[in-house]
Chain A
């Protein structure tokens, strides 16, 4: 029986100037290129004066972005305009990254590499969020933005006094907890996204391995849903953390 091959880490496919290029990095570059092309196309349509000349793509993206603007406005209030470009970029990148991992060919097109363990199959593409490096990068962006906006709202002194505060013992202890929770945020953001997407890929792989015909289809539908929900949760939590961190106290 052929055994199932699952790799937690992304596989290296080549290296440029000594930097390893993994298959998930390649896929995330493809996602970025796709998003940039769509952005230019949609933006070009926007300058068109006649409304009838606008394409379906433009209308679809106008609908998506308009819908999400209203959605985030409910949570972020007056901060929406400041945050929205970042949130929408994060959302689109994560959702396209999750969905591109479900396409046929991703994870199945590749080449064989000779290693010490014998011949190993190396896929050419891999979902960007099925690699812990990508999700840690995304969560670092999200948490740094939260810290930056918090400093901007409270000033350096107010920001530090949230963590180090000796006015009374309870506040000193709460400060330590706050400090830990900032680091826990990075971990929970990255592990949540990575775990969900990677677990989905493993689930699909196991299902295809067990019964290749028809049975994986409902799981595929589930993964489309999970990919959307995780992107939504990531952006929603970023919004909530920013709102909480920039709130004025007293």
Chain B
């Protein structure tokens, strides 16, 4: 195995820790909000998806870096 493969694995592996925690917290917040106020469910879902997209973007940056190391 080349050192480059290890770099790819580390880049994406470490890069997904933060967004993973972030998405979890966003989901937790949304669940609590829906639990308290079920009528606002659809509105919360929109914001939830937007928030998750923001958190997920950071994992995507790590993925792009990993892909660049791997293929370029």
| B-binding residues in A (CB < 8 A) | 6-8, 188, 191-192, 194-196, 198-199, 202, 229-230, 232-233, 236-237
Contact = CB atoms under 8 A, between A and B. Distances in A.
A192 B62 CA distance: 11
Contacts of B72: 8
A89 B61 CA distance: 26
Contacts of A192: 53, 57, 60
Nearest to A187: B61
Nearest to A191: B64
B61 A195 contact: yes
Contacts, number: 35
A199 B50 CA distance: 19
B49 A195 contact: no
Contacts of A230: 53
Given A192-B53, A199-B63, 16 more contacts: A6-B71, A7-B71, A8-B67, A8-B72, A191-B64, A192-B57, A194-B64, A195-B61, A195-B63, A196-B60, A198-B67, A230-B53, A232-B49, A233-B49, A233-B50, A237-B50
Interface in B50-72: 50, 53, 56-57, 60-61, 63-64, 67-68, 71-72
Contacts of A237: 50
A240 to B, nearest CB: 8
Contacts of A229: 49, 53
A138 to B, nearest CB: 15
Nearest to B68: A8
Interface of B: 49-50, 53, 56-57, 60-61, 63-64, 67-68, 71-72
Q: Decide if the interface of chain B is mainly helix, strand, loop or mixed.
A: helix
A198 to B, nearest CB: 7
A191 B68 CA distance: 12
Contacts of B49: 229, 232-233
27 contacts: A6-B71, A7-B71, A8-B67, A8-B68, A8-B72, A188-B57, A191-B57, A191-B60, A191-B64, A192-B53, A192-B57, A192-B60, A195-B60, A195-B61, A195-B63, A196-B56, A196-B60, A198-B67, A199-B63, A202-B67, A229-B49, A229-B53, A230-B53, A232-B49, A233-B49, A233-B50, A237-B50
Given A6-B71, A7-B71, A8-B71, A233 B64 contact: no
Contacts of B71: 6-8
A198 B67 CA distance: 10
A8 B67 CA distance: 8
B71 to A, nearest CB: 5
A233 B52 CA distance: 10
A117 to B, nearest CB: 14
A198 B63 CA distance: 10
Contacts of A199: 60, 63
